[in-house]
Amino acid sequence: MSNQYFAFIGTYTTGASEGIYTYRFDAGSGALERLSVIGGISNPSWVEISPSGRNLYAVGEETHGVIKAYAIDPATGALTYLNEQLTGGEVPCHISVDATETYVLLANYGSGSVAMLPIQADGSLAPLTGFVQHEGSSIHPVRQTGPHAHSIILDATNRLAFAPDLGIDKLLVYDLDLDNGTLAPHHVPWVRTPVGAGPRHFDFHPNGQFAYLINELASSITVLRYVADQGIFGEIETVSTLPDDFDGESTCADVHVSPSGKFVYGSNRGHDSIAMFAIDEATGRLTSLGNESTQGQTPRNFAIDPSGTWLLAANQDTNTIVTFRIDQQTGHLHPTGHITPIPNPVCIKLLPL
């Protein structure tokens, strides 16, 4: 397994950030070294690497949503702009690339929709071919007056897409048509989450039998049993990501299962921590391992390297990325002392060199 990675950092450009940053991550020491930056994009808050590692796609999180395509220099990690397309909605916030690199899928948070765009031979994007507008609302008087699709990911077979929608308290399930570039509701089209939970991000267990859905508004993780051959879910439990004695304001952001399948982690903005859980691999249930401070404010997306040794947390409001070593036996996080200054970091994606 590689000991060196490119780390691509998506940011908000409302402050000092110039755009998308490329760093080198040393998986021996946990250190980050800045290599380059590319501008020309406003609020590239989510970036995604194609499975081949040849291309990177980034949202422009604005009212008139755009997605931009870049080529990745395999020697330096530098990005070359290819083209951009409209996302069909407002405030895009998440991207996935299908396993065949035929389509990019994205979620438009502001207007509550999901879309598909074809990938051309050079990695650039054609105009969208698939689009679904979500409908509905829920109980939060400000955050849930309408739909807010917050992410979209694919299953291991590359035939289903899953879209948590914060505004309507649902995890929507779509059949993926790679021949025509369209999304259609699955025969069981959605799973309802706890009312007012605000589902945001989602990750599968490596065994494919369980999934972990983080709820932004309720600061919780919902554990789901997954029946892969039918593409359906059943709720197992919902657990808090916050300590029992915390009484401040906090919302969740990101969730990842460790490559070993032993642990799951979720980020808390407000409590400013990573919640740590052990997974019962027979039942999928979670046991809290406590919370580790991210040593900064407003942790958003975080990355776990493919070996499961490192966790890199992006502190948006204190302009740092902090590196933690993951204890392979206990799942606890141990800060390494590597605190990398970077303006308004939001998203971290790793690519082996």
Q: What's this model's pTM, rounded to 2 decimal places?
A: 0.97
In sequence order, the 6+-apart residues with CB closer than 8 A to the CB of 245 are: none
What does DSSP say about strands 232-240 and 251-257: parallel, antiparallel, or unpaired?
unpaired
What pLDDT was estimated at residue 1? 64
Residues ≥6 apart with Cβ < 8 Å to 104: 48, 57, 67, 95, 96, 97, 98, 116, 117, 119, 125
Give residue 2's pLDDT: 72
Residue type at position 116: M
Structure letter (DSSP) for residue 119: B
The angle formed by the CA atoms of residues 61, 66 and 71, to the nearest 5 degrees, is 105
Question: Does residue 116 contact residue 184 with C-beta atoms inside 8 Å?
Answer: no
Q: Are 190 and 172 in contact (CB under 8 A)?
A: yes
**Other Cβ atoms within 10 Å of 225 Cβ, number:** 14
Two structure tokens written together for 187: 């025969």
CA angle in degrees (0–180, nearest 5) for 47-52-58? 15
Cα–Cα distance for residue pair 263/243, rounded to 1 Å: 18
**Count of residues for the chain?**
353
Q: Tell me if residue 267 falls in helix, strand or coil.
A: strand
For the chain, the C-alpha Rg in angstroms (whole number) is 19
Cα angle 256-261-265, degrees, rounded to a multiple of 5 = 30
On whether the CB atoms of residues 16 and 31 are closer than 8 A, the answer is no
235-247 burial, b at 16+ Cβ within 10 Å, e below that, comes to: ebebbbbbeeebe
| Tokens of residue 267, six digits | 């980020």
For the record, the structure tokens of 131 come out as: 């689009």
pLDDT along the chain (353 residues), means of 10: 91 96 96 97 97 98 96 98 98 98 98 98 98 98 98 97 98 97 98 97 97 98 97 97 96 98 98 98 97 98 97 98 98 96 98 96
Whether the CB-CB separation of 58 and 98 falls below 8 Å is answered with: no
